[in-house]
């Protein structure tokens, strides 16, 4: 069976939507604030997501990601500011707008006592889809999430990964234009994770805007073209992945056998390199371009006839960006 | 349509939940079964303080010597029964078989049984003061043996047996004596007409030709109102379940009502699970309004509850031989209104409980307290003191029991006004519970 987003009707609908919007972002969030009594859950968050874009939202537990997704999915009213989807304000009162949104909650929001087909039938019927159309869509989604052969099995007999895939499928049955995924791969096996990634990429390729929240940095890095970092309710960075990574240099850490007079001075003369510190005979330097700095380092050590005992390089990555921006690791 | 989609899903979940089947269907049947088997025959019957006079009627009747040809034969035993039944403070029980009566007396279940032999009518008819007639009168009243009648006595209950025998003697005198006087005077009138006229003038307060006590004493005949001759109901053919016993007319509705409110647990668990597993968030994210979500939740609960009520009443009839009374269709509004109030209470608990443990603890406590207060738990509200019976009316259960009692325990003449009143109160309870739940229920628990 062809994946859902290769279906002709689906692609055309997405394309028409893009034309209709004429450059307006699919999702626009402006200065959104959410307060619960004395607690500020969101503090002036702003960003846009375009149709077909994979936007990653990174943040530790309690950072405000789920609250933000609840506002975007019309479940919660912002205290101030505004979220707009397809140009319409996203408020709990606008039930029609919800037809454009698909949410994949953090929880396995499917019914264990029902089988996969019954689950999809039910969630489809909530959007007014019925009869042959519902039957076809359910078959399409089951194929897309790789559960066609388990369609009539009770969900509580599924593995965690299969349940996660069904959790995604339940959000796709009504063909949303904006897909909100809240930690969609928690506790899944690599095979199911890849399946979910593939499907999310296909959706984006077909024009669906995707907001992907996770505290797995490697997932966001592998999947998303643009990333927002949220901490304590504030969006502290929001940029394309290369731009975020460019904020951080790489690190080269090496050890030499003995103290070598003049080595620190010569290392400091390498362009684009900053010496961080020294512990015994281990030195660490931060550099914008790890590869070129590494070649110069090796050339210098040869020239000074200094033996290299060990060497470790760290390319810039989101984890270090996050640490740099927030002062703590994501899973602290 | 969206509401129905939601309702259909919940019905499916409920029907696949073994806990629901056990709590709502199996448990009440088990309760009824256990109590039905273990309770005595008197449970569920009105306490009857009247003296029970048991009789065995083997009388074959005798042709009426005064009647025209073709008239019905005399059945003096029936006359005696009627006279007994019309006597204040007495109830007559007819035991069909002599052997059964002997067994009941031998087992101490009856103190005395009055037996009319096959020739009772013949002997009474022949009783006369005149020459050639049978004279049954003697020092103690009526000599029963001369009338082919006798009393079976339990030697361990002689006092009770004597009282019953004396009651029988008085009745016999009231029946036999006027017959003898009337017959004798008739003969006198035939043979010595003027003498009869003189005698009648000497006793102006009596009709000496009357053959009944009322006619003899020129009193009005008693009406048959209140005369009650019950047929003894043996237990042997009802089996170990005692199918058809009166107690099931009380037990089945009591436990049907009590377990209707166990819906609180089933619905509470359903709601909490919906919250816990995140599907409530999906429902809220769908284009459904809050009323649609609530209606989608209420409808399956209501249907389940109605199904439960009807199932238990049908099982009561098929398994326990319960009667649906003379107005079985009135049971339907009672089931519907009980379900409405149970559904409202279930929604109220679901609105307040946050976890499955809370549902189990608070729900069970609430259901049992209400069942105890209303009288459901003990099976029969009549067992409660009068003031507690009044207090119990603060529970919907009690109103449901009032309605069921009218229809099932008072089948001959149910008070339809009481049934309607109970249904209205139950519906009122349901609406109040739903309104409270509506104001308390938080669907937006997103944090």
Say what the ipTM of the complex is: 0.77
DSSP string, B309-335: HHHHHHHHHHHH-----S-GGGHHHHH
The proportion of chain B whose per-residue pLDDT surpasses 70, expressed as a percent, equals 89
* Window from A238-242, A289-293, B211-215, B317-321 with minimum mean pLDDT: B211-215
Q: A95, B288: Cβ pair inside 8 Å?
A: yes
Q: What are the pLDDT digits (tens) for B10-32?
A: 888 888 887 777 877 888 888 88
Instruction: Say yes or no to pLDDT of B447 above 50.
Output: no
Residues A198, A295 within the same domain = no
DSSP B68: P
Higher pLDDT: B412 or B417? It is: B417
**Arithmetic mean of pLDDT, B328-352:** 90
Reported pTM: 0.67
A76 located within any domain? yes
Phi-psi region of B183 (alpha: psi -120 to 50; beta: other; left: phi over 0): alpha
B13 touches chain A (CB under 8 A): yes
CATH number at residue A275: 3.30.70.250
Q: Is the pLDDT of residue B249 over 50?
A: yes
| Statement to judge: residues A308 and A166 lie in one domain | no
Give the distance from residue A37's alpha carbon to the nearest chain B alpha carbon, in angstroms: 13
Write out the H or E segment, with its range, that includes residue B280.
helix B279-285
Which of B286, B288, B443 is the mutation pick for testing A, counting most A CBs within 10 A?
Answer: B286
User: Half-sphere exposure (CA, 13 Å, Cβ side) for B137?
Assistant: 15
Q: Which chain A residues contact residue B5 at CB under 8 A? A: 122, 125-126
Q: Which of B68, B1, B61, B58 is nearest to B296 (CA)?
A: B1
A321 located within any domain: no
- Which residue bears the tokens 């047996």? B161
Residue B294 has pLDDT above 70, yes or no: yes
pLDDT higher at B321 or B66: B321
- Residue A332 within a domain: no
The whole domain housing A159 covers 4-241
Mean pLDDT across the stretch B324-348? 89
Residue contact A170–B5, C-beta within 8 A: no
Burial of B180 (0-12, 13-18, 19+ CB in 10 A): buried
Q: Which residue has the tokens 């448990």?
A: B27
Q: Does residue B66 have a pLDDT over 70?
A: no
**Whole-number Cα distances in Å, A256 to A253, A280, A306:** 10, 9, 7
Asked if residue A324 is part of any domain, the answer here is no
Confidence band, pLDDT 50/70/90 cuts, at residue B237: very low
Find chain B residues with C-beta within 8 A of A126's C-beta.
2, 5-6, 283, 286-288
Q: Which helix (H) or strand (E) holds B255?
A: helix B247-260
**Hey, are the CB atoms on B285 and A122 less than 8 Å from each other?**
no
Residues A216 and A180 in one domain: yes
Nearest by CB: A111 against B1, B279, B286: B279
pLDDT of residue A111: 93
Pull the structure tokens for residue B392: 């119990």
- Nearest-CA distance from A265 to chain B in Å? 54
Query: Which among A67, A105, A138, A173 is the top mutation candidate for probing chain B, defined by the most B β-carbons within 10 Å of its own β-carbon?
Result: A105
CB B84 within 8 A of CB B53: yes
Q: Do A300 and A187 share a domain, yes or no?
A: no
Q: What does the block give as tokens for B234? A: 């043996």
Q: Considering the domain boundaries, does residue A125 fall inside one?
A: yes
**How close is the nearest chain B Cα to the Cα of A113, in Å?**
6
A227 found inside a domain:
yes
Asked if residue A77 belongs to a domain, the reply is yes
Q: Tokens in use for B391?
A: 């207090």
A66 plus A97 within the same structural domain? yes
Whether residue A56 sits in one domain with residue A182: yes
One domain for residues A266 and A209: no
Neighbours of B315 (CB within 10 A): 18
Nearest to B241 by CA among B335, B328, B315, B308: B315
pLDDT means per 10 residues in chain A (332 residues)? 48 48 79 89 91 90 87 90 90 87 90 93 92 93 91 91 91 92 84 87 91 86 90 88 81 86 85 80 84 89 89 82 76 55
Give the percent of chain B with pLDDT over 90: 16
Domain count, chain A: 2
A113 has a chain B CB within 8 A of its CB: yes
Task: Pick B286's closest partner by Cβ from A70, A113, A126.
Answer: A126
CA distances from B247 to A155, B244, B251 (A): 46, 8, 6
The answer on A76 and A131 residing in a single domain is yes
Q: Which residues of B touch A73 (CB under 8 A)?
A: 285
In the 3-class helix/strand/coil scheme, how is chain A assigned residue by residue?
Answer: CCCHHHCHHHHHHHHHHHHHHCCCCCEEEEEEEEEECCEEEEEEEEEEECCCCEEEEECCCCCCHHHHHHHHCCCCCCCEEEEEECCEECCCCCCHHHHHEEEECCCCCCCCCCEHHHHHHHHHHCCCCCHHHHHHHHHHHHHHCCCHHHCCCEHHHCCHHHHHHHHHHHHHCCCCCEEEEECCCCCCCHHHHHHHHHHHHHHHHCCCEEEEEECCHHHHHHHCCEEEEEECCEEEEEEEHHHHHHCCCEEEEEECCCCCCCHHHHHHCCCCEEEEEEECCEEEEEECCHHHHHHHHHHHHHHCCCCCCEEEEECCCHHHHHHHHHCCCCCC
> Does residue B40 surpass a pLDDT of 80?
no
Question: Does the pLDDT at position B69 exceed 70?
Answer: no
Residue with tokens 């689950």: A119
pLDDT confidence of residue A178: 93
CB contact under 8 A, B12 and A113: yes
Task: State the average pLDDT over residues B216-228.
Answer: 63
Tell me how far apart the alpha carbons of residues B195 and A168 are, in angstroms, rounded to a whole number. Answer: 116
Residues A237 and A274 in one domain: no
Q: In the predicted model, is pLDDT for residue B110 greater than 90?
A: no
CA A290 to chain CA centroid, nearest Å: 26
CA distance B315 to chain A (A): 28
* Mean pLDDT score of chain B: 82
pLDDT score, position B243 = 64
Tokens of A139: 């078959």
Instruction: Answer whether B287 sits within 8 Å of A99, measured CB to CB.
Output: yes
| pLDDT at residue B114 in the model | 93
pLDDT, residue B433, reads 92
Highest mean pLDDT among A124-128, A287-291, B106-110, B126-130: A124-128
Is residue B141 within 8 A of residue B42, CB to CB? The reply is: no
- Considering the domain architecture, whether residues A141 and A289 belong to the same structural domain is answered as no
Picking from B338, B339, B342, B346, the residue whose alpha carbon sits closest to that of residue B402 is B338
**Token digits of residue B196:** 């009869």
Q: Are residues A257 and A236 in the same domain?
A: no
Per DSSP (E only), the strands in B80-122 are: 90-94, 112-116
Domain CATH code at residue A74: 3.40.50.300
Above 70 in pLDDT, residue B42?
A: no
Does a structural domain hold residue A323?
no
For residue B444, what pLDDT is reported? 61
Q: What is the pLDDT of residue B430?
A: 93
User: Which chain A residues touch B284 with a CB distance below 8 Å?
Assistant: 75
Q: Give pLDDT, residue B228.
A: 62
Residues of A in contact with B445 (CB under 8 A): none
Is residue A117 located within the same domain as residue A191?
yes
Average the pLDDT over each of A110-119, A243-252, B76-85, B221-230 and give the range with the smallest value: B221-230
Q: How far apart are CA A192 and CA A198, in angstroms?
A: 10
- Other beta carbons less than 10 A from residue B392's beta carbon: 21
């Amino acid at each position: 069976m062809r994946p859902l987003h290769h279906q002709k009707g689906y692609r055309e609908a997405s394309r028409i939507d893009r034309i209709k919007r004429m450059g307006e972002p699919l999702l626009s969030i402006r200065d959104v604030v959410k307060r619960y009594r004395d607690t500020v859950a969101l503090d002036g968050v702003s960003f846009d997501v375009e149709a077909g874009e994979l936007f990653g939202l990174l943040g530790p537990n309690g950072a405000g990601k789920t609250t933000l997704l609840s506002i975007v999915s019309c479940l919660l009213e912002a205290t101030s500011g505004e979220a707009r989807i397809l140009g319409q304000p996203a408020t709990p009162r606008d039930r029609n707008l919800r037809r454009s949104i698909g949410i994949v909650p953090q929880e396995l929001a499917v019914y264990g006592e029902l089988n996969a087909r019954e689950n999809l039938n039910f969630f489809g019927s909530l959007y007014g889809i019925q009869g042959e159309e519902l039957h076809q869509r359910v078959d399409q989604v089951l194929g897309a999430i790789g559960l066609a052969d388990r369609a009539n099995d009770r969900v509580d007999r599924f593995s965690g990964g299969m349940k996660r895939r069904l959790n995604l499928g339940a959000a796709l049955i009504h063909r949303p234009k904006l897909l909100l995924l809240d930690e969609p791969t928690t506790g899944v096996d690599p095979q199911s994770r890849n399946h979910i990634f593939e499907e999310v990429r296909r959706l984006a390729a077909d024009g669906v805007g995707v907001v992907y929240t996770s505290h797995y940095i490697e997932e966001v890095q592998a999947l998303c073209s643009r990333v927002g970092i949220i901490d304590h309710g504030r969006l502290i960075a929001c940029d394309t992945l290369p731009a975020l990574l460019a904020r951080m240099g790489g690190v080269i850490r090496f050890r030499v056998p003995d103290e070598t007079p003049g080595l620190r001075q010569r290392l400091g003369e390498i362009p684009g390199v900053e010496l961080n510190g020294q512990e015994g005979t281990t030195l660490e330097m931060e550099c914008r371009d790890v590869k070129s700095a590494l070649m110069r380092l090796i050339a210098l050590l040869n020239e000074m006839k200094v033996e290299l005992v060990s060497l470790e390089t760290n390319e810039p990555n989101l984890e270090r960006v996050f640490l740099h921006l927030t002062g703590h690791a994501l899973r602290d | 349509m969206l509401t129905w989609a939601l309702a259909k899903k919940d019905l499916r979940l409920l029907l696949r939940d073994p806990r629901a089947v056990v709590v709502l269907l199996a448990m009440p049947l088990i309760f009824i079964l256990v109590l039905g088997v273990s309770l005595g025959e008197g449970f569920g019957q009105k306490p009857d303080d009247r003296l029970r006079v048991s009789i065995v009627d083997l009388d074959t009747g005798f042709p009426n010597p005064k009647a025209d040809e073709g008239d019905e034969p005399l059945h003096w035993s029936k006359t005696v029964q009627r006279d007994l039944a019309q006597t204040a403070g007495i109830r007559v029980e007819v035991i069909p078989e002599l052997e059964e009566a002997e067994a009941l007396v031998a087992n101490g279940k009856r103190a005395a049984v009055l037996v009319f032999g096959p020739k009772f009518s013949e002997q009474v008819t022949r009783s006369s003061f005149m020459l050639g007639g049978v004279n049954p009168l003697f020092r103690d009243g009526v000599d029963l043996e001369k009338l082919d009648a006798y009393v079976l006595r339990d030697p361990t209950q002689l006092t009770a047996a004597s009282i019953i025998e004396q009651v029988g003697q008085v009745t016999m005198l009231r029946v036999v004596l006027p017959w003898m006087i009337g017959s004798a005077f008739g003969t006198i009138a035939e043979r010595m007409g003027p003498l009869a006229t003189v005698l009648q003038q000497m006793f102006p307060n009596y009709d000496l030709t009357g053959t009944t006590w009322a006619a003899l004493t020129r009193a009005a005949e008693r009406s048959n109102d209140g005369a009650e001759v019950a047929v003894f109901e043996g237990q042997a053919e009802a089996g170990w379940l005692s199918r058809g016993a009166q107690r099931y007319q009380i037990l089945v509705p009591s436990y049907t009502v009590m377990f209707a409110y166990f819906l609180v647990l089933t619905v509470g668990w359903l709601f909490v699970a919906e919250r816990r597993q995140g599907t409530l968030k999906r429902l809220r994210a769908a284009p459904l309004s809050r009323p649609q979500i609530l209606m989608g939740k209420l409808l399956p609960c209501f249907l389940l509850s109605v199904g439960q009520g009807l199932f238990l009443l049908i099982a009561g009839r098929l398994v326990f031989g319960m009667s649906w009374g003379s107005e079985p269709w009135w049971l339907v509004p009672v089931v519907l209104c009980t379900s409405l109030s149970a559904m409202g209470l279930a929604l109220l608990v679901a609105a307040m409980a946050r976890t499955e443990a809370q549902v189990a603890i608070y729900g069970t406590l609430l259901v049992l307290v209400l069942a105890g207060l209303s009288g459901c738990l003990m099976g029969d509200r009549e067992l409660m003191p009068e003031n507690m019976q009044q207090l119990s009316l603060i529970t919907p259960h009690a109103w449901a029991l009032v309605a069921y009692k009218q229809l099932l325990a008072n089948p001959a003449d149910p008070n339809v006004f009481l049934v309607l009143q109970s249904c209205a109160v139950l519906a009122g309870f349901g609406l109040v519970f739903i309104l409270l739940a509506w104001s308390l229920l938080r669907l937006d628990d997103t944090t």
